Structure 1
Amino acid sequence: MRITHLHSTFVTPWGGAEAYLFALASAQRARGHDVAIITAVADGESIARAAAAGVRVTVRPTWRPYPPDRHGSSAFVRAVFHGVDTVHGVLLPRAYRRVQDGRDVVHVHRFQGVGASVLRARRAPVVHTAHDYCLVDTASTTMRRGALPARLGLAQRLRARIVSTSARRATVVVFPSERTRRRHAELGFRAGRAQFLVVPHGWPAPPLPAEGTPPHRPRFVFLGRLQKPKGIDLLLRAWAEARLDADLVIAGDGPERPRVEAAESDTVRYVGWVDAEAKGALIRSATALVFPSLWPETFGLVIAESLLLGRPVVATPEAAGDLIVDGENGVVSRDATPSGFADALRRLATDAELRRTVTAGAAASADALDFDRHVERVDEVYRVARVAFETGA
């Protein structure tokens, strides 16, 4: 099968959508498919990693006031970026007019920075995976002032209506969870002629690092972007409130790094950005991963990695999604507040029987994340898309 994956960025360090794209493309190439990645922005390291897996990368830039993997320096510049993106929700950029030619399926992952018009199935079936909420929200989270409103502002609704003129002409829209599909529906997104399918992600099992010396007291590990939507501020405040005889290790980088560095103490250690091997070792050294994200995660890859490595997760209700069940493979806080998260940390740190239960449950959860089975499910999505495209269904 001739498969093209389209993502607006392919730049290290990869976010969750880019990491998933690479894992899926690599697995499809290993199965003998002709696989290509088209992107507006890429770096040498990402291109080289794809080439090593037999996946070719083509860079097709589009004009923007700043790259789609960066944040604008002012409200005006951001408005220009999203204005151009909205125009390209209707008018296909010249560089992307032929990406469907000669392909059996085009799989779009993130269109922001290219334009939603790439979702229209013209010469080949188009599958779009909704890794976040960019179909209905330029911020991609649908959060406002820490809450999930039932309705977004007028500008967002108008932009979403323009985006939907193209998105509803895709062949299949894939949601990684029922919650993600439901949130899109709540905000008014409708299928049009596109089929909506819920297909939970899988994830490749990380290499199992050698077992180190078990910590002499509970150890919690945070891995990810150091930014407010990921809950780093909530975590630091909860940790201060919990006053545990335990350790917190924070790995990652981002705008909240100065806050993290200022919080270092006898119980809080910051280790910076870590590579895949170091990440696996950190997870295996932990009593539990902490995932305090404030927005309704579509699929937390770091949660998947933790479960695959046999470690439970302490998460907010927004972050837990369908992956973490309280008391079975982790602990879910009663709410996304510092006091609620502090209570969740205390539960796990002070209850040895609970730690044994959720650790065993984490290992048992790994089977549902089997990546080979997930790739087979994606193959079935492609089959459905090709039949629908060819029959006009």
Structure 2
Amino acid sequence: MKITHLHSTFVTPWGGAEAYVFSLAAAQCARGHDVEIVTAVADADSIARASAAGVRVVVRPTWRPYPPDRHGSSPLSRALFHALDVVHGVIRPRSYRRVQDDRDVVHVHRFQGVGASVLRALRTPVVHTAHDFCLVDTTSTTLRNGVLPPRLDPVQRFRARVVEMSARRTTAIVFPSERTRLRHAQLGFRAGRALSRVVPHGWPAPPSPDLDIEPPPRPRFVFLGRLQQSKGIGLLLRAWVDARLDADLVIAGDGPERDAVQAAAGGSVEYVGWVDAEAKGALIRSATALVFPSLWPETFGLVIAESLLLGRPVVATPAAAGELVVDGENGVVSAEATPAAFSEALRRLAADASLLETVTAGAAASAAGLDFDRHVDRIDVIYREAHEAFGARA
């Protein structure tokens, strides 16, 4: 099968969506498919990693007012970017007009920066995975002042209707969780004739040294991720101070809140910076539990999946836990996303040996549901359904 994965950027350090695209493309290539990743922006490291896995990277540039890692240098540049997104929701950029030619399926992941018009299935089936909420919201979170409003402002609703015109002409839309699908529906998204499917992500277990790691002498909590407020790093630092645990906190990652993390380091807090895949696996295996205090509703927390695959429970906020973390079964979910509630969740796990034993066993049991080979099988089924639907419409 000739498969094209379309993602607007493919630049390191990868976010969750980029990592998923690479993992899925590499797995499909290993199964004998002809796989390529089409993107508007790519760097040498990403191209080399894909090439080593047998996956081609095809760069089809589009003009954008700021680099993909800047997130808008000014309100004007951000407004221009989203205005272009609306235009490209109607008019397909020249470099993407023939992206469906001679392919068996085009799998679109993130279209912002390229335009939602790439979702229209014209010459081959198109599958779209909704990694976030960009179908209905330019911020991709639908949060406003820390809450989830039942309705967004008129400008966002207008933009969503333009995007929807193309999305309704895709062949299939895949939501990684039922919560994600319901939130889209709440904000008025209608899939029309497009097949709507909920397919939870699987995930490959992160590599880690093949060594027996001794349990830490006292509880050890690990945070892995981008250091930014939406991921709850500020909440975590305040909660850690409030918890006053005889325990250690290790923070790995990089981002705009790095200075705050470095200032908090010392004593029971250790900052180790950005880590590669193998070091990440070793950190998780060395932990009593992973902490994931994200403030926005994660569609699928990849670091949670990695922790469960390595048999480590997770302490999470309600928004971060999603459908992966079940309180008292494979982790602890705080009552709310506040420093006080999160510190209580940390104390609860650190002080209760029986609870820790239960959730550690539950984390290991959760791994079966995250098996990546099974997930690739489910995506194969989606592709077959998309082909049947596309053929029937044609």
Q: One-letter code of the match for 2:10?
A: F
Structure 2 residue aligned with 1:109: 109
**Residue 164 (1) aligns with residue 164 (2):** yes
CA shift at 1:122, angstroms? 0.4
The secondary structure found in structure 2 opposite 1:58 is: strand
Alignment of 1:4-23 (within 5 A): 4-23=4-23
The C-alpha deviation readout for 1:305-345, integer Å capped at 9, x for no partner, is 00000100000010001111000100000011111101100
**Residue 280 (1) aligns with residue 281 (2):** yes
Q: How many angstroms apart in 2 are the aligned matches of 1:244 and 1:157?
A: 46
Q: How many angstroms apart in 2 are the aligned matches of 1:237 and 1:55?
A: 43
The secondary structure found in structure 2 opposite 1:290 is: strand
CA shift at 1:264, angstroms? 1.0
Q: One-letter code of the match for 1:156?
A: Q
Counterpart contact for 2:315–2:332, Cα < 8 Å? yes
CA shift at 1:77, angstroms? 0.8
Q: How many angstroms apart in 1 are the aligned matches of 2:308 and 2:232?
A: 20
The C-alpha deviation readout for 1:3-44, integer Å capped at 9, x for no partner, is 000000111111000000000000000001010110000000
Q: How many angstroms apart in 2 are the aligned matches of 1:102 and 1:77?
A: 36
The C-alpha deviation readout for 1:128-169, integer Å capped at 9, x for no partner, is 000000001110000011111111111111111111111111
Q: How many angstroms apart in 2 are the aligned matches of 1:71 and 1:178?
A: 28
Structure 2 residue aligned with 1:385: 386
Q: Which runs of 4+ in 1 moved over 4 A?
A: none
Structure 1 residue aligned with 2:265: 264
Structure 2 residue aligned with 1:42: 42
The C-alpha deviation readout for 1:82-126, integer Å capped at 9, x for no partner, is 111111011000000000001110000000110000000000100
The C-alpha deviation readout for 1:232-263, integer Å capped at 9, x for no partner, is 01111111111111110000000111111111
Q: One-letter code of the match for 1:339?
A: A
Aligned residues: 393
Alignment of 1:1-393 (within 5 A): 1-209=1-209, 210-392=211-393
Counterpart contact for 2:126–2:170, Cα < 8 Å? yes
TM-score w.r.t. length of structure 2: 0.99
Q: How many angstroms apart in 2 are the aligned matches of 1:154 and 1:270?
A: 42
Counterpart contact for 1:292–1:316, Cα < 8 Å? yes
List runs of 5+ in structure 2 lacking aligned partners. none
CA shift at 1:73, angstroms? 1.1
The C-alpha deviation readout for 1:29-69, integer Å capped at 9, x for no partner, is 00010101100000001101111111100001100111234
Q: How many angstroms apart in 2 are the aligned matches of 1:312 and 1:128?
A: 31
The C-alpha deviation readout for 1:270-300, integer Å capped at 9, x for no partner, is 1100000000010011000000001110000
The secondary structure found in structure 1 opposite 2:7 is: strand
Q: How many angstroms apart in 1 are the aligned matches of 2:208 and 2:324?
A: 21
Q: One-letter code of the match for 1:244?
A: L
Counterpart contact for 2:220–2:288, Cα < 8 Å? yes
The secondary structure found in structure 2 opposite 1:135 is: coil
TM-score w.r.t. length of structure 1: 0.99
